[in-house]
Structure 1
Amino acid sequence: MRVVSIITLFIGSLLGSVVLTAKAADTPSAVLKLEISPPVLELLTEPGRSISADVKVTNSGSATEALRVDLQKFSAQGEDGRPVFEDRASEDDYFDWVNFSVKEFTLLPNEQKTVTVTVSPPATAQFGYYLAVTFLRDTAESTLAESGATVTGGAATLILLNVQTPNAERSLDLLEFSSPRTVYEYLPATFTVRVKNTGNIHLAPRGAVFVRDSRGRTLSSVPLNPAQGNVLPGTNRAFLARWIDGFPLMENKQEGDQPITNAKGEPQQKLRWDLSRVANFRFGKYTARAVVVYNNGQRDVPLESFLSFWVIPWKALLVLGAIVLFVLLGLKSILWPLARLLRRKPLRSRPE
């Protein structure tokens, strides 16, 4: 089976249009630019019941494009939800359930076309099916590929089809809640929540990381999976959360919109001293509580985990300590001679 990867596209992590651009190897001007909306279709139906949805394709390039509509399947690669596209295998009869209102069409620059996708699952269908509607140049060499002599590129809309049956199982396990450090000098503090879909239907968990100080006061809540990314059955997914509500705040250096990196390719960082946030100076021990919620088909099920970490801005404390010491020494150098002088000065006797 030929496995095909496309440009990083996170499942459910985009809410607007997706633009995928690729270039022919030996024709630099032949650029295919397509805008696809929506990037993800979540379809819910029952066995034997057809369902349709529209996909809008816009040619945002400067040349007329002849396009064809194709169908592939996908699976999740890695824990970031990146899809891997695959051609149809001999046992993939569910490809026959899908029909398009048009298979080939031409788009002028800035022209938009609506393609209706109809899925007709049979009475024996059940659970989840994961497909991709691809839009490619209508040429023999067109392909969605990362490498090769010719890459003309294309775009895709992901289809997450849920064929509801009584034996559907929606289940999620919270595998890990972690932070790369136990001691931070400055915020942000980064948290990773790893989950596993142990059911047979894709899930889009939601939740937050709540941060409390040593007195138990809740200081902040950081959303988890705000883009509503899905976790496919049998796969793991890692969601990141960053607590940035601090003073000062460590951030990456940028030149324009591009990060500045060092010789190792790592982003260079700097401290941002926003005096309007001085009340958010962080020091001491903190507790983070991760709450992940998913729906099992009947109710919301919460999953929880805790961890502790410290924020110790030791450099700032050293500087502050040095300043305080300098001030105390200065005061001592002024007050000590004055005190000695006062002790030596004779007291006037009272008149009798």
Structure 2
Amino acid sequence: MTTLTRDDLLQRDAGDPLARMRERFDLPDGMIYLDGNSLGALPHITKDRIRQLIEDQWGLDLIKSWNAHDWYHMPGRCGAKLAAFIGARPGEVVCADSTSVNLFKLLAAALAERPDRTVIVSEKGNFPTDLYIAQGLTGMLGRGHELRLVESDAELDGAIRDDVAVVMLTHIDYRSGRMHDMAAVTGRAHEAGALVLWDLAHSAGAVPVDLNGADADLAVGCGYKYLNGGPGAPAFLFIAERLQDRIRPPLSGWMGHAAPFDFDWSYRPAEGIGRNLCGTPPVLSLAALEASLDTMADLDMAAVRAKSLALGDLFIELVETRCAGHGFTLVSPRDATRGSQVSFAHPEGFPIMQALIAGHVIGDFRAP
């Protein structure tokens, strides 16, 4: 039985260097919110930013706002701010579309970049949309491409051979929270001549990420989870600077054109990361995402990581002592290979979660 008391935990709270961040978010009193992995909280400044954009910009300046308020550059501006959270340079990230659409764009581009290879490697436990996009793309291409799925790290190492064009993995598993060694996997893929596409949906804003330090090639992620950009917030994509001139976007929309307002009939890709834009940017959604990125701009991700691990360790200790004998099984790693979540399995997991939610403790349930 744990010897921890409520006073012990209050003492930890008193010394928490991140306590000031709580005041920047609009969370209901009496609620314990543990579901930032599905939808992040609302930053206070987001409401004012959106109100100002609607009333003062759209309402008063109408079409002039694209230039007067710089709506036009919002995808790149948000990308530059987001880059700091994932170890990228400002010119390597752009915010646009959804994670699924960006997966399609980068996966198709990776296959085109390795035309003599036909295999995509991923995990059976990957988030379903990643696998669905790969299945749809290989079927559409009709050139004998194959999605090779593995179930363990040992299988992953053996699956990366000289027929592999791209390895597509989610950095942190959405169910267990297990975290891949990004640098090691990327290095292994590069040894075999393959590219790597990382899904950072459960990483960006939650754990320190160093894409350039890991020599990463490509990455995608969403803005509505730990980045707190709001429901359906724009996603982001990353392309390493060394690859940008070689990547030709498969969805060559007008916003990715070198001169979109020339209305040229022939597509010419823009320079740099901007060529990966497609349609007209969703200004309201980007404004909400940018407000959150500004809210978090001074956040020390090393401190976030330290607190995350401490909270996770504490939660595991309390569940395993106070709920011993009640059928709970830890499925998350106990050590620092755990991301920013703790997951327990239970035969009655769904009704247990519904009961917690009814008691204003908001967690998450994932089948199976």
TM-score over 0.5 (shorter chain):
no
Normalised by the size of structure 1, how large is the TM-score? 0.23
Which is helix-richer, 1 or 2? 2
Normalised by the size of structure 2, how large is the TM-score? 0.22
Which is strand-richer, 1 or 2? 1
Structure showing greater relative contact order (alpha-carbon pairs closer than 8 Å, 6 or more residues apart): 2
